[in-house]
Amino acid sequence: MEPKIAVIGLGYVGLPLAVALSRSYSVVGFDISEHRVRELKEGHDRTHEIESDVLKKSSLQVSTDPNILMDCGVFIVTVPTPVDANNQPDLEPLSSASTILGGFIHKGSIVVFESTVYPGVTEDFCGPILEKVSGLKAGHDFFLGYSPERINPGDKVHTVDKITKVVAAQTPEVAQKLAQIYGKMNNNNIFIAKTIKAAEAAKVIENTQRDINIAFMNEIAMIFAKMNISIHDVLDAASTKWNFLKFSPGLVGGHCIGVDPYYLATASKSLGHNPQIILAGREINESMANELADLITQRVGKPLRLLVLGLTFKENVPDLRNTKVVDLIEALKKRGHVVDVHDSCADPEEAKRFFNYHLVPALTIKETYDGVIGAVMHDAYCQFSNADFQRFLKPKGWIFDLKAVWRKQPPAGFNYWTL
Ligand SMILES: NC(=O)c1ccc[n+]([C@@H]2O[C@H](COP(=O)([O-])OP(=O)(O)OC[C@H]3O[C@@H](n4cnc5c(N)ncnc54)[C@H](O)[C@@H]3O)[C@@H](O)[C@H]2O)c1
């Protein structure tokens, strides 16, 4: 008989996974957030990952009551793995989820972690909690697994059913079982990693590599800005070489790329190795908000009334967690500018609650701003015409195109700047 599956943590990762698995299995979802479970029951996913009609039609059952986990055979944990104020891994959500699960696992259960961690967290941190609460032995009575999640919020191409899923487990038999379960969701596009630690490490380096690559772009963007060379002109030329890796400079926020390298760095330091490139990459990317505020201020020479377009951590998602646009706004204010912000994807109430920002409700205030900063290029902004800019920007006002989306055809009648 097929096992009943539980997904623990129904956020950006857990919900799409639970919905996809529920097409082939009996699946329940557990989340500690009353608010989240209520909206899902009403058929609304505020992360925009799952359409309302898909959610309403899904057989997925969701609850904040842990008793929903009763009778499940496979438990998949997708709770957050943030860092604390000192950029140290905060394993509290994993600890509390493991404690809850300890009360429901039984002989033969499989507990799979999907949260991004450093190598060892599944077997050396979560496993012992599960053992202690359940009184069962990992690898003997119940089995641990790890399967990193690679989805990219807002990306409608690389969805959970279309990307290779890495799985690993304490025994080859359990790894095969996981391959079979996940394989139903993505046409058996599965890679079985040798060990749980290898799978944990693979995920954390995927994101760390991206952070470092972007940091290199940010570093050279700053060098070339001092030389009055546009990095985009440089990248256009350099990327004609077959083995050049093209990334874009910019702010690195969110809860993955800007966070996961700290997990690896902490684990590395605890073993006595100072991870120089990883931490240098973080430092460069963390400095970008100030660097950009300086470049903008130097270019205009005086405080301006500015409108920032985009507050979320990346384009076309409503997610405001750890967005570095806030750092940019605050850095601009420190330099004397008056700054408003508009976001076509963010929830205005969240913007108020998280940052005490009142989002500009609509871009209809005529010729208000001396400059506009394209910070996060939601589709709505990419399509701006001259007339759109004229609605809110003064004639000869500044367009600071941080993502270089208007670079090929800068809007006429304004001052245009990009890196
Ligand atoms: N969002 C992404 O793009 C992405 C991609 C790949 C991997 N990841 C990783 O996946 C994990 C989850 O990320 P996310 O973006 O889905 O987070 P999220 O914050 O969107 O969702 C996590 C959910 O878990 C719930 N939760 C917290 N503690 C819980 C507990 N003890 N028991 C049950 N539910 C609990 C929260 O209420 C929330 O609804 C993280 O480790 C993240 O690094 C995220």
Q: What is the CATH number of the domain that holds 89?
A: 3.40.50.720
CA of 6 to the centre of ligand 1 (A): 15
CA distances (Å), origin 250, targets 31, 97, 187, 294, 313: 34, 35, 36, 14, 11
Q: What angle do CA 284, 288, 290 make, to 5 degrees?
A: 120
d(CA 233, CA 45): 40
What DSSP element (H or E) covers 264?
helix 260-270
User: Measuring CA to CA, which residue among 330, 338, 337 is closest to residue 301?
Assistant: 337
Look at the chain and report how many structural domains it folds into. 2
Q: Is 36 in the pocket of ligand 1 (CB under 6 A)?
A: yes
Are 187 and 232 members of one domain?
no
Q: What is the largest CA-CA distance in the chain?
A: 72
Are 218 and 325 members of one domain?
yes
Helix (H, G, I), strand (E, B) or coil at 307: strand
Are 18 and 155 members of one domain?
yes
Residue 99 neighbours by CB distance under 10 Å: 14
- Which structural domain range is residue 113 located in? 5-194
Do 142 and 105 touch, CB atoms closer than 8 A?
A: yes
Q: Is 79 in the pocket of ligand 1 (CB under 6 A)?
A: yes
Question: What pLDDT score was predicted for residue 131?
Answer: 98
Question: What pLDDT score was predicted for residue 349?
Answer: 96
Q: In what order do the strands lie in the sheet with 415-417?
A: 338-342, 305-309, 369-374, 393-401, 415-417
* 183 class by beta-carbon count within 10 Å (0-12 exposed, 13-18 middle, 19+ buried): middle
Domain boundary among 161, 194, 227: 194
Residue whose CB lies within 8 A of the most ligand 1 atoms, among 78, 81, 118, 211, for a mutation test: 78
For residue 67, being part of any structural domain is answered with: yes
Q: What angle do CA 231, 232, 238 make, to 5 degrees?
A: 85
For residue 199, being part of any structural domain is answered with: no
Domain boundary among 194, 221, 248: 194
Do 374 and 310 touch, CB atoms closer than 8 A?
A: yes
Are 225 and 160 members of one domain?
no
In this structure, the strands spanning 165-169 and 143-146 are: antiparallel
Are 234 and 337 members of one domain?
yes
248 pLDDT higher than 90 = yes
Are 187 and 216 members of one domain?
no
153 pLDDT higher than 90 = no
Question: What pLDDT score was predicted for residue 95?
Answer: 98
Q: How many CA atoms lie within 13 A of 383 on its CB side?
A: 4
For residue 383, being part of any structural domain is answered with: yes
Token pair in block for residue 368: 């208000």
Are 287 and 394 members of one domain?
yes
Do 288 and 218 touch, CB atoms closer than 8 A?
A: yes
d(CA 391, CA 340): 15
- In eight-state DSSP terms, residue 124 is I
d(CA 87, CA 291): 21
Residue whose CB lies within 8 A of the most ligand 1 atoms, among 7, 17, 19, 31, for a mutation test: 31
Are 184 and 219 members of one domain?
no
For residue 133, being part of any structural domain is answered with: yes
For residue 200, being part of any structural domain is answered with: no
Q: Is 397 in the pocket of ligand 1 (CB under 6 A)?
A: no
List, in sequence order, every beta strand (DSSP E) within 246-387.
Answer: 305-309, 338-342, 369-374
Tell the residue nearest (CA) to atom 24 of ligand 1.
Answer: 9
pLDDT grade for 34, boundaries at 50, 70 and 90: very high
Are 158 and 222 members of one domain?
no
> Which pTM was predicted?
0.95
Helix (H, G, I), strand (E, B) or coil at 407: coil
For residue 392, being part of any structural domain is answered with: yes
156 pLDDT higher than 90 = no
Are 256 and 157 members of one domain?
no
CA of 265 to the centre of ligand 1 (A): 21
Q: Is 200 in the pocket of ligand 1 (CB under 6 A)?
A: no
Domain boundary among 150, 166, 194: 194
pLDDT grade for 2, boundaries at 50, 70 and 90: confident
Q: For 38-51, write each residue's pLDDT tens digit.
A: 999 999 999 988 99
159 pLDDT higher than 90 = no
Residues whose CB falls within 8 Å of the CB of residue 352, separated by 6 or more in sequence, listed in order: 358, 359
For residue 203, being part of any structural domain is answered with: no
d(CA 70, CA 103): 9
Are 43 and 67 members of one domain?
yes
Question: What pLDDT score was predicted for residue 138?
Answer: 98
d(CA 239, CA 229): 16
Amino acid at the residue 396: K
Q: For 189-242, write each residue's pLDDT tens digit.
A: 999 999 999 999 999 999 999 999 999 999 999 999 999 999 999 999 999 999
Residue 383 neighbours by CB distance under 10 Å: 9
336 pLDDT higher than 90 = yes
Do 374 and 400 touch, CB atoms closer than 8 A?
A: yes
Percent of the chain with pLDDT over 70: 100
Q: Is 220 in the pocket of ligand 1 (CB under 6 A)?
A: no
18 pLDDT higher than 90 = yes
d(CA 179, CA 176): 5
What DSSP element (H or E) covers 286?
helix 276-300
User: Measuring CA to CA, which residue among 90, 145, 155, 200 is closest to residue 208?
Assistant: 200
In this structure, the strands spanning 27-30 and 110-113 are: unpaired
Q: For 90-108, write each residue's pLDDT tens digit.
A: 999 999 999 999 999 999 9
Are 272 and 396 members of one domain?
yes
CA of 33 to the centre of ligand 1 (A): 11
